[in-house]
Structure 1
Amino acid sequence: MRRVSIFGATGSIGQNTLDLLRRDPTAYQVVALSGGRNIAQLAKDALEFSPEVVVTAFADLLPELQAAMAGSGVAVEAGAEAIARAAERPADWIMSCIVGVAGLTPSLHAVQQGTTLALANKESLVAAGPILMAEARRHGATILPVDSEHSAVFQALIGEDISTVERIIITASGGAFRDWPQADLAKATPAQAQTHPNWSMGQRITIDSASMFNKAMELIETKEFFGVHETQIETIIHPESLIHAMVGFQDGGMMAHVGPPDMRHAIGFALHYPERRPLDVARLDLTQIGQFR
């Protein structure tokens, strides 16, 4: 039975991860769950999965979480230091999907354990990529990218020599405003920015997608994770979000990763790696797609 921790369990990535664990309950033991202000969801998940510890990032919400978990036997803690302690608990696989630089703490503790880090927290690489990658090498840890684009690049590179890579192309949906006339953008509201045309994601990343700032961070992620020069990285607008990334090689060949816009694919790949196990996600029918834009 694999010991698993999820930091950011109440967000979209965390919820999709729990969905996959739920499908094979005898295969996983949950060590730690953390969340933010959604105490109802955090407590619900903790009562279902019975982790060793459940943590809210906000100390003022500790009494609410304690009340919800009363009699469960699960340790209840709160605050940044509590998240750090939870991340130090031994686990075979740690999902880091807290939004923001706060996700760096569980990311670092995961690699310092020499375990497998499923990395969905962009800021870990954007803010501290050289440090995190060096720590992973020093402790013999494995980092598996969970962003759909970087998971796609990782999969396209399996069995390949990174020195033969000529270019890496990551795709962008264009976000909520991709079809808007430029003159209308000045009138855009936060509510409109929170509606993504393809993906079901958290509020912050959805807004970052609307502004394309999210893609800027992903370019940095690509450089830090794969160790390629920044001039080798490109991005293109691909409204359907079916091609997640492409890798071009020095012989002119190109590998593309194609799949539905469902984060359970990238999460499931990281969860089961190096195996490929069956996943109940949509299958593409290329005859129905016809063409990619």
Structure 2
Amino acid sequence: MPTTSPPPPPSFLDGVRFAFGTLTVLPVGVTRWDREAARRGMTYAPMVGLVVGGCSAGLGLLLLLLGAGAPLAAVASVAVPAVLTRGLHLDGLADTADGLGSGKPAEDALRIMKQSDIGPFGVITLVFVLLAQVAALAQLYGDSWARGAAAALVSAIAARLALTLAARAGVPAARPEGLGAAVAGVVPVGAALATALSFTVISVALGPLFGAQGYLRAAAAVVLAAAGAELLLRHCVRRFGGITGDVFGGLAETAATVTLLVLSLGR
């Protein structure tokens, strides 16, 4: 009988295409959709944050240059990640809130999360999260254009770094199908930690833009964002039996919000 040879290991570009094709609407042309490609793609997720955050900061700066005020620049910077993801992370946050808020057993909660409508817990969570993000960014842009732009960039990196950490080995999927099942447990713990360290260093390098003790503030923002996402991740694993694509969205938005709130504190 003829035997089929295993597919070759995914290339760097395969991983990049997987990351951008899964986490954004950018037409990158995903060439492989398997566990090995997912491993590389989720390891590279913070690279997506660099691009999304750069676009977010760029639009905010453009509006400031054209004479807009800090609040409008903040709204634009919050809108860009939503547009570039078709709102999937926000939708995931809302669905996760509905599932957790239902208080029902895992199977019923997962069924609630799969429904197309958004319940009261999801609506309330979305409102407060978006208000917090806009308010924090408005303050940061009001302090200086550089501080606001850097915060938009760092928050986007932290949001995608939360996804890399959530896709580490040992974290199970709640369902046998869907995005959660495709990427759950694909990133070796060592690779996840190395990625976290690398992108934390990149974020901390922007520290001088955040004023006095800027290095410490940037480091604290990324670390606390990862900690907040980790707490939510563990709670979701306990409640649902694992992670889903919706949970990934909730983790990203949680990390982004914590980052902005920490960076907005102090002067």
**What TM-score results when the alignment is normalised by the length of structure 2?**
0.28
**What TM-score results when the alignment is normalised by the length of structure 1?**
0.26
Larger relative contact order, structure 1 or 2 (CA cutoff 8 Å, min sep 6): 2
Over alpha carbons, which structure has the higher Rg? Answer: 1
User: Which structure shows the bigger proportion of residues in strand conformation?
Assistant: 1
